[in-house]
Amino acid sequence: MLTSLNQRALIVSLLIFGVFLLAWHLATQGSGSVQQMDPEYAKLMGLTATKGTSAMPGPLDVAAKIWEHLKSPFYDRGPNDKGIGIQLAYSIARVMTGYFIAVLVALPLGFLIGMSPMMSKALDPFIQIMKPVSPLAWMPLALYTIKDSSISSIFVIFICSVWPMLINTAFGVASVRKEWLNVARTLEVTPIRKAFTIILPAAAPTIFTGMRISIGIAWLVIVAAEMLVGGTGIGYFVWNEWNNLSISNVIVSILVIGLVGMVLDQILAMFARMVTYPE
């Protein structure tokens, strides 16, 4: 029954995809009005104006573009024109740096907050205010104080991805079952041993959920940050193609951003499964 369920889901998925592609293809067929113009004048104009080609690319254009990028993902023609693979590598490197700094800060701090109700109450207002701030709101401040655009984007990733991890760690640590802690107390386990052998394993699934939310946010943030500061990265790639009004390339980047985000998410989901325990 399970396989047949999977098969049926797959068929429906493919069907939706097919209908979507067909609708897209039909919607972008040239239908704009075409004016008669002098051939010399027409040479100076784009296809949208001369042939009524839709400004929106169809699925075939996008497929051709994808193929073009897949053929040479790592070309480097100067500081402003690099292959999509190189741009992705820049973005991933930035995300990882910011994210790991956030992990290094959020986990110990989360432990502290989770184990001390007083600290939890004291820090709560700050966390609540900082948490909903948009990444782009941090950017000017970061650029102004850090004075380096690349470090600024890493900082913005850090500041945006630290909160979900912090809150989840604190929550996970605080909600370790009282019986387990009481057992530890009767056995006179040292605080450090208690933290590593009881609290950490117990809170791990919640912590990983927080980390999973955070990596998603970090990946969302990097695109916005790179669009703003330019230079390198997938966000810059989107911006550069937008500058050229090349919608096919923008669609390609959207697909690529989605794929990479999914892979990052699945990696953390895998870690989360490894530490899950049955109650």
CA atoms within 13 A on the CB side of 246: 13
Residue 207 CB, nearest approach to another protein (Å) = 36
Instruction: Pick the closer one to another protein by CB: 36 or 186.
Output: 36
Binding residue for another protein (CB under 8 A) from 1, 2, 3, 35? 35
**Which residues are 76's β-sheet partners?**
82
Instruction: Return d(Cα 215, Cα 130) in angstroms, integer.
Output: 18
Site string for another protein, 184-223 (x = CB under 8 A): ----------------------------------------
Binding residue for another protein (CB under 8 A) from 78, 125, 132, 278? 78
Phi-psi region of 32 (alpha: psi -120 to 50; beta: other; left: phi over 0): beta
Establish if 90 lies at the interface with another protein (CB under 8 A). Answer: no
SS (H, E, C) 202-249: HHHHHHHHHHHHHHHHHHHHHHHHHHHHCCCCHHHHHHHHHHCCCHHH
Residue type, 277: Y
- Among candidates 210, 208, 206, 223, which has minimal Cα distance to 261? 223
Establish if 41 lies at the interface with another protein (CB under 8 A). Answer: yes
Residue 74 CB, nearest approach to another protein (Å) = 15
Binding residue for another protein (CB under 8 A) from 3, 4, 186, 243? 243
- Phi (first) and psi of residue 78, to 5 degrees: 100, 170
**Which residues are 82's β-sheet partners?**
76
Contacting range for another protein; rule: CB under 8 A; set: 36-44, 96-104, 120-128, 255-263: 36-44
Instruction: Return d(Cα 19, Cα 143) in angstroms, integer.
Output: 45
Establish if 234 lies at the interface with another protein (CB under 8 A). Answer: no
Instruction: Return d(Cα 204, Cα 179) in angstroms, integer.
Output: 18
Residue 94 CB, nearest approach to another protein (Å) = 16
Token reading at 274: 């490894």
Establish if 46 lies at the interface with another protein (CB under 8 A). Answer: yes
Token reading at 39: 């051939």
Establish if 149 lies at the interface with another protein (CB under 8 A). Answer: yes
Binding residue for another protein (CB under 8 A) from 244, 277, 278, 279? 244
Instruction: Pick the closer one to another protein by CB: 14 or 55.
Output: 55
Q: Where does this chain bind another protein (CB under 8 A)?
A: 32, 35, 37-38, 40-41, 43-46, 48-49, 55, 77-81, 140, 143-144, 147-149, 227-231, 236, 239-245
